[in-house]
Structure 1
Amino acid sequence: MAEKDLRLVDTDKPNLYRETFPYSEFPKVIFDHERVEYEIPEKIWITDTTFRDGQQAKPPFMPEQILRIYDLLHEIDGGTGLIRQCEFFLYSERDRKAVELCQERGYEYPEITGWIRAVAADFKLVSQMGLKETGILTSASDYHIFLKLRKTRSQALSGYLDIVKAALDSGVQPRCHFEDVTRADFDGFVLPFANELLKIGDDYSQPVKIRLCDTLGFGLPWPGVALPRSVPKLVQGLRKIGVPAEQLEWHGHNDFHKVLVDASTAWLYGCCAANAAIFGCGERTGNPPLEALVVEHAQLKGMTEGVNYAAITELAEYVRKEMNFEIPRNYPLVGRDFNVTRAGIHADGLLKNEEIYNCFDTEKLLKRSVGVAITDKTGAAGIKHWVEAHYDIQIAKHDPRIVKIKDLIDAEYAADRVSVISDDEMFAWVGEVFGTDVPALRS
């Protein structure tokens, strides 16, 4: 792209893309039918925003809780650099205490980075904490530049560039967060801004990173979708003006249920880093789930030696028990019912071959054995599966004792029960039906 195409387009009025974002209606999907090619980087990785964006949706985490999560992220990463960085707030004493505790660990991964406003005074916090990199809020859309900051594009750009230079002068690598990029004027502001950052990076011999922030979840993964909502065209447009893949990062939100596919799409089109938070926590609808991106990475690039996938389960157990995280029972990978079936025909299939109704070896990879929940739909096969999962016994589904337990369950639902049968009830019924021949419990 020629240099003349990268000059800032200053305007008197904001471009709010009303044909795409009417506000009084749902946003529109606009197709231009122009496709771009995949450009999957050789290495792709995850960055974490649990301690920044994640905390914006939850009560503040205690420093000791942050430390434990940080330890578990390090354990999942296994020294591979898959979970490359974590970003932290730096404003409160509690924030700084958490950073200090994590710094004491001395881990290479995840690297500790900061997040600040585009204010020169905030760099004192970064320097005081001894951080090498920090994110800087640099809003990109006219919604933010005109309506929030009350500035023109040229005024906003000038201020952003000054703060980037201040970061580099202080020895800190800046990461510019292009807030609301999926409503921004790509040719008129985003590309000129990115081009100026490339020049500054050359002048300082220090790369400036760019985080593409889909602040309201407007990003779309489909080929042929027009800017500014097109994730492929946002990433590829920056790649074409010379922004290296390793300097690009995607940060999404889940307002329209596309947060994971958008992050994966960014990887596919030339963005090395995908920003995430554990179990999709984050402001409003949340960020890409970190654990989902770990598994997505394994699907795209293959299993990574050293990554401890099973520690995902340990992380879920910790935040559920110690931090009251509400993880829905049917939540993928870590929900209590993730690999639990209620249908009798499914349970029968599991007994014949687990692969029929289990998406991968959950016991090996996540330390989550497949389970069966007992309802009126479970059937004898499901009861057999439950008994064998909890007791050291192999038993036929037509065994009179299994039939007797099924009769007890059927009687409950015949009396208008609507809830599932609890494990405690099942243990009691097994004791009643088996009598003195109750088998030993599995460890």
Structure 2
Amino acid sequence: MYNCIQRYNYIKGGVHVKRKIRLVDTTLRDGEQTAGVVFANEEKVYIAKLLDKVGVDQIEVGIPVMGGDEKEVIKKIVDSNLNASIMAWNRAVIKDIKESVDCGVDAVAISISTSDIHIKYKLKSSRADVLRKMIESVQFAKENGLYVSVNAEDASRSDREFLLKFVEKAKDAGADRIRFCDTVGTLNPIDTFNAIKMIKDNIDIDVEMHTHNDLGMATANAIAGVMAGANFVGVTVNGLGERAGNASLEEIIMALKCSLKFQNKYNLSEIKNLCEYVARASDRPLYPWKTVVGDSIFSHESGIHADGALKNPKTYEIFSPEEVGLQRRIVIGKHSGTAAIKNRLSQIGITVDNYTASKILSKVRATSVSLKRALSDRELISIYEDYLIENGLDMKEA
């Protein structure tokens, strides 16, 4: 599978083509469709500005045909003079696109189902009618000077021959890219790779990955799509989205950087601030071990890990905490070793030798077990002071 993919290039017609991966953030549309999540208008404007600070290429801001507050806030975002392209979501309906035009966005997503189960039971329509509506909508959007992404909803469960026909017709109608939607999160990375490669091998069009996390593979599937030639990735902050959510912006940015080795222009130092703000606005707190931005992901307790991280952080960290606005922390607890004890006491202003650290260690571990948690600095100092008293030592002799 990987032989035909280069980390920076992909092969097209025997030529290595330099690639740029662009992020399309849909926190304000798909993210707000998370059950129970509602962003206030000013929150939506501020989130858009934070996304722009990070350097997101395109922001999908909402659904203009909803009218009311939705349309009002989209216009505010359009008027915010952001660097990012501003996209609105639409059904394959001319009325929807007219509302998007009225908002002043520069791009539209035109969405319609391509799987037979959706066409039969949701749309109560036919493949031919799906193609007709899509083509008419794309042509209308292009006549109004808009960048067009055609969303193949439920693409992952669509008949492959019909999907290729859909993509080909979309391109012929003037679409700038196709959004491949794994709407119910049913794919795995290998099947995702093969599906995207099939499209890229047959039709010369940009492909965006839009993956859902129902089976916990949204980020992995999106990255597999990139490896197969997709050059846009749809994301949401903190992985918000319907049901189990979408591929998360922070995971995708760091996976592209650390796993696929793409050099990107994104402002990593703003990611933590963005994620924390969206967490508050959505009332979905960040758990401490959250990938990339969780407060505890650079905490080391295990003796072997802490020792390695103290000698050279790269032994157990693939990127530095400072890159994403976090800090490294050595935790003192049941699994600590002498190196961690010495380091933590040193930071408090107490210097001990290996022998003293080893004597303190057994008490540290026993205390951690009895308390069922890591120890505070005050508790560590208390154990150290008890050791001095028990051995008739003072601070200078230790």
Using the size of structure 1 for normalisation, the TM-score is: 0.75
Name the one with the larger helix percent. Answer: 2
Find the counterpart in structure 2 of residue 13 from structure 1. none
Please name the residue that 2:352 is paired with.
396
Note closer, same or farther for the CA distance 1:128–1:427 as it changes in structure 2 (3 Å cut).
farther
For residue 291 of structure 2, the aligned residue among 313, 319, 332 is 332
User: d(CA) in 2 for partners of 1:397 and 1:320?
Assistant: 44
Deviates more, 1:343-352 or 1:41-50: 343-352
CA distance in 2, matches of 1:144, 1:180: 8
Q: Distance in 1 between matches of 2:279 and 2:362?
A: 32
Which amino acid in the other structure matches residue 353 of structure 1?
N
Pair 182,412 (structure 1): closer, same or farther in 2 beyond 3 Å: closer
Q: 1:149 aligns with which of 107, 120, 123?
A: 123
Tell me which of 10, 13, 22 is aligned to 1:45.
Answer: 22
Is residue 194 from structure 1 mapped to residue 167 from structure 2 by the alignment? yes
Q: Equivalents in 1 of 2:266, 2:301: separation in Å?
A: 32
SS of the equivalent of 2:343 reads helix
**C-alpha distance in 2, partners of 1:320/1:382?**
33
What CA distance in whole angstroms lies between the structure 2 residues aligned with 1:67 and 1:396?
53
Question: Residue 209 of structure 1 aligns with which residue?
Answer: 177
Amino acid at match of 1:136: I
SS at match of 1:317: helix
2:15 aligns to what?
A: none
Matched, 1:254 2:213: yes
Amino acid of the structure 1 residue aligned with 2:233: A
Output the CA distance in 2 between the equivalents of 1:49 and 1:334: 19
Asked whether the equivalents of residues 214 and 251 of structure 1 are also in contact (C-alpha less than 8 Å), the reply is: yes
Instruction: Assess if the C-alpha contact under 8 Å between 1:115 and 1:136 holds in 2.
Output: yes
Query: Is this contact kept in 2: 1:380–1:397, CA < 8 A?
Result: no
Identify which of 192, 207, 213 aligns with 1:231: 192
C-alpha spacing 1:397/1:372, structure 2 compared with 1 (3 Å): farther
In the alignment, the residues of structure 2 paired with residue 397 and residue 307 of structure 1 have an alpha-carbon distance, to the nearest angstrom, of: 44
Instruction: Tell me which residue corresponds to 1:366.
Output: 324
Question: Which stretch shifts more, 136-145 or 315-324?
Answer: 315-324
Query: 1:131 and 1:337 mapped to 2: Cα distance?
Result: 39
Cα distance change of structure 1 residues 314 and 196 upon mapping to structure 2, 3 Å threshold: same
2:373 is matched with 419
Maintained 8 Å contact 1:176/1:209: yes
Q: Which has the higher strand share?
A: 2
Q: Deviations over 1:47-87 (max 9, x none)?
A: 1111111111151112222233222222222xxxxx21010
Deviation of 1:183 (Å): 0.8
Alpha carbons 1:383, 1:406 under 8 Å: kept: no
Q: Does 1:116 align with 2:74?
A: no
Residue type of the partner of 1:271?
A
Other-structure match for 2:257? 298
The aligned length equals 374
Root mean square deviation, CA, Å:
3.0
Can you list the C-alpha shifts for 1:204-228, whole angstroms capped at 9, x where unaligned? xxx4421000111222322xxxxxx
Q: Which moved more, 1:167-176 or 1:398-407?
A: 398-407
Alpha-carbon contact 1:277-1:289 (below 8 Å) kept: yes
Compute the TM-score of the two structures, normalised by the length of structure 2: 0.83
Do the aligned residues in 1 keep the contact of 2:23 with 2:57 (CA within 8 Å)? yes
Q: Would the aligned equivalents of 1:215 and 1:252 in 2 still touch at CA under 8 Å?
A: yes
Q: Partners in 2 of 1:210 and 1:358 — Cα distance?
A: 36
1:47-86 alignment to 2 at 5 Å?
47-57=24-34, 58-77=36-55, 83-86=56-59
Report if the CA contact (8 A) 2:336-2:365 is conserved.
no
Structure 2 counterpart of 1:105, one-letter code: S
Instruction: Structure 2: state its 5+ residue gaps.
Output: 12-17, 387-393
Question: Is contact 2:272-2:293 (8 Å) kept?
Answer: yes
Q: 1:139 is matched with which residue: 101, 104, 113?
A: 113
Match of 1:407 in 2: 363
- Is 1:96–2:64 an aligned residue pair? no
Counterpart AA for 1:369: Q
Whole-angstrom distance in 2 between the partners of 1:236 and 1:351: 43
**What is the distance in 2 between the residues matched to 1:397 and 1:267?**
51
Cα deviation, residue 141, structure 1: 0.3
Whole-angstrom distance in 1 between the partners of 2:306 and 2:331: 9
Cα–Cα, structure 1 residues 387 and 117, in superposed 2: closer, same or farther, change >3 Å? farther
Secondary structure of 1:217's counterpart equals: coil
Q: Distance between the aligned counterparts of 1:296 and 1:387, measured in 2?
A: 35
The answer for the alignment partner of 2:159 in structure 1 is 185
For residues 250-277 of structure 1, give each alpha carbon's deviation from its aligned partner in whole angstroms, at most 9, with x where no partner exists: 1001122221121112112221101111
- The 2-side partners of 1:127 and 1:433 are apart by 69
**Residue in structure 1 matched with residue 236 of structure 2 by the alignment:** 277
Greater displacement, 251-260 / 372-381: 372-381
Q: Say whether the 8 Å CA contact 1:405–1:430 is kept in structure 2.
A: no
Q: Which has the higher contact order (CA 8 A, sep 6+)?
A: 1
Task: Judge conservation of contact 1:347–1:378 (CA < 8 Å) in 2.
Answer: yes
Q: Contact 2:337–2:361 (CA<8 Å) still a contact in 1? A: no
Identity %: 26
1:432 Cα deviation after fit: 9.3
Which of these residues, 199, 202, 220, is aligned with residue 241 of structure 1? 202
